[in-house]
Amino acid sequence: MAISRRDLIKAGMGSACVMAAAGVAEMQENKPPEAAKAASADRLLPIPADKMTVEQKKAAEDFLAARNTPIFGPFIPLLRSPEVMLRARAMGDYLRYKSVLPPKLNEFAILIAARQWTQQYEWDVHHPIAIKAGLGAEITHALSEGRRPGNMPEDEEIIYEFCIELHRNQSVCDATYARAVSRFGEQGVIDLIGVTGYYTFLAMVLNVARTPAAKNTMPLNFFPR
């Protein structure tokens, strides 16, 4: 008799995809190099110019005009839906460059999202930016290993507690909220939520697309499941 997906979940086994994801590192260790490479191949490669629709070409041109660079990273898979890509780029323009949060704290929130989603591309892009903005190397090292950083200044501690609670609990407690509002104001809190949500969205896109990391200078291991 066939066993339904619901029965598997009720039995605590989960779906085949969940089980595969949980053991992806172990499976790839035992595969030939060609098989491991295929399992992690980019699913949504750049679209050749001659294959783009009119809407995609226009979106790519608008992106270049706004960012002064061709589409890259998560915007490559997002181009499959040009309007989504353009609106995501516009939101990112504010959250990345105009947020009321100081750059160091903004980048810290981005790294927390990248770590929560084990998103190597996102981490590799933003880790050097965070260090340049003043975030301590010991902070990012602990975060990369999934540990709570020690000896954080108060503003970094508030960012960390707020983001971790939001990622793990899908909300924040009254005490955490009050500390964040007291330090950053209501607009700062909304910007922090925006950064968390936006870079979670990009991490989802990159993970599903399997966009390869460019540098991989500080590898992120999958969390135990």
Question: pLDDT-based confidence at 97, cuts 50/70/90?
Answer: very high
Query: For the purposes of burial, counting CB atoms within 10 Å of the CB of 181, is it exposed (0-12), middle (13-18) or buried (19 or more)?
Result: middle
Is the per-residue pLDDT at 28 higher than 50?
A: no
Is the per-residue pLDDT at 95 higher than 60?
A: yes
Is the per-residue pLDDT at 218 higher than 90?
A: no
Domain with CATH 1.20.1290.10 in the chain: 99-209
Question: Percent of the chain beyond pLDDT 90?
Answer: 76
- Rounded Cα distance, 79 and 96, in Å: 20
Fold topology of 99-209? AhpD-like (1.20.1290)
**Are the CB atoms for 42 and 74 separated by under 8 Å?**
no
Q: How far apart are the first and last CA of the chain?
A: 29
Question: Percent of the chain beyond pLDDT 70?
Answer: 81
- Rounded Cα distance, 149 and 166, in Å: 17
Position 20 scores a pLDDT of 47
| Sign of the torsion angle spanned by Cα atoms 108, 111, 116, 117 | positive
pTM: 0.83
Position 90 scores a pLDDT of 96
Position 39 scores a pLDDT of 56
Any idea which of 37-41, 108-112, 143-147 has the lowest mean pLDDT?
37-41
Query: For the purposes of burial, counting CB atoms within 10 Å of the CB of 137, is it exposed (0-12), middle (13-18) or buried (19 or more)?
Result: exposed
Residue whose entry in the numeric block shows the structure tokens 């035992």? 30
Position 201 scores a pLDDT of 98
Overall average pLDDT of the 128-145 stretch: 96
